[in-house]
């Protein structure tokens, strides 16, 4: 299968760890140039950059930006394109996930979750689509959603669940709007994935979760990354507005 990703420039938000890091490495393996976005831990981002360079000799940089801050998103895109060239693919992966019952949340926590998970997705998508449209270029966006968008959570992540539901709707609406320009927008909705975000909960309730997963195992970040790479590639040229369930069978339809 020809993915045609060599020398494509890919921006991965939240790319320094977990699913984001796996996505960065997967694109680099296909010959793409990778922009690793981070917001707090520069050391982790630079380690991801170093790993990409060592394994794949691919062009890559780490760029700091708070995805909820419009100016930082704009500056990130300018810096990325100055260093690596025009961005071809956007992966909206950056996320914030507070935990607790609804009564425990402040309005500030709710707003922060939507600011990072949805406002950030909107800002990065808007800016790149403006660029692509102004130059009559095609492009691809892949949003990393979650099964929480459809199933909710029994462990108390209502702001996150709601924001991921909004991301699925955003994916559909934007895909329909820009399809005629050859810009594709899709999403991946992972179930449980072996990342730092779920590690503690997984260890405490492993058997409970396994009973819900027909494949009876947790996903590895690399499995989600391969789906994102496929959706962004020419191999998925006739797919837009789709949300791919990667849940081990928790969601079947």
Q: What is the CA radius of gyration of the chain?
A: 17
- The mean per-residue pLDDT over the stretch 59-76 comes to 99
User: What's the count of helices (H) and strands (E) in the chain, helices before strands?
Assistant: 10, 7
- Walk me through the domains of the chain, giving residue ranges and CATH numbers: 9-245 (3.40.50.720)
Q: What is the pLDDT of residues 143-158, one digit of tens each?
A: 999 999 999 887 789 9
Q: Model pTM? A: 0.96
Which pLDDT value is given to residue 201? Answer: 72
Give which of 121, 161, 112 is closest to 12, Cα–Cα.
121
Read off φ and ψ for residue 37, nearest 5 degrees: -85, 145
Hey, which residues are catalytic here? 160
Instruction: List the one residue out of 146, 56, 137, 47 whose CA is nearest residue 96.
Output: 146
E strands, the chain, in order:
9-12, 33-38, 60-64, 89-92, 139-144, 183-190, 243-246
Chain segment 188-227, per-residue pLDDT in tens: 999 989 987 777 777 777 888 898 999 999 999 999 999 9
């Amino acid at each position: 299968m020809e993915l045609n990703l060599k020398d494509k420039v890919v921006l991965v938000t939240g790319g320094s760890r977990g699913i984001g890091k796996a996505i960065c490495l997967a694109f680099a393996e296909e010959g793409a140039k990778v922009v690793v976005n981070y917001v707090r831990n520069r050391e982790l981002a630079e380690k991801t950059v170093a790993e990409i360079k060592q394994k794949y000799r691919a062009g890559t940089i780490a760029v700091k930006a708070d995805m909820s801050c419009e100016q930082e998103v704009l500056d990130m895109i300018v810096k990325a394109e100055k260093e690596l060239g025009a961005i071809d693919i956007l992966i909206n992966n950056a996320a914030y996930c507070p935990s607790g019952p609804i009564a425990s949340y402040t309005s500030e926590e709710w707003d922060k979750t939507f600011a990072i998970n949805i406002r950030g997705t909107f800002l990065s998508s808007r800016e790149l689509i403006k660029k692509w449209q102004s130059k009559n270029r095609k492009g691809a966006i892949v949003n990393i959603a979650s099964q929480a968008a459809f199933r909710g959570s029994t462990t108390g992540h209502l702001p996150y669940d709601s924001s991921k539901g909004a991301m699925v709707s955003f994916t559909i609406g934007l895909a329909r709007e820009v399809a005629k320009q050859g810009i594709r927008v899709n999403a991946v909705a992972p179930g449980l994935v072996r990342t730092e975000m779920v590690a503690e909960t997984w260890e405490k309730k492993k058997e409970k979760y396994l009973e819900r997963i027909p494949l009876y195992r947790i996903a590895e970040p690399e499995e989600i990354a391969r789906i994102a790479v496929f959706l962004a590639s020419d191999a998925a040229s006739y797919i837009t507005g789709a949300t791919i369930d990667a849940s081990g069978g928790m969601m079947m339809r």
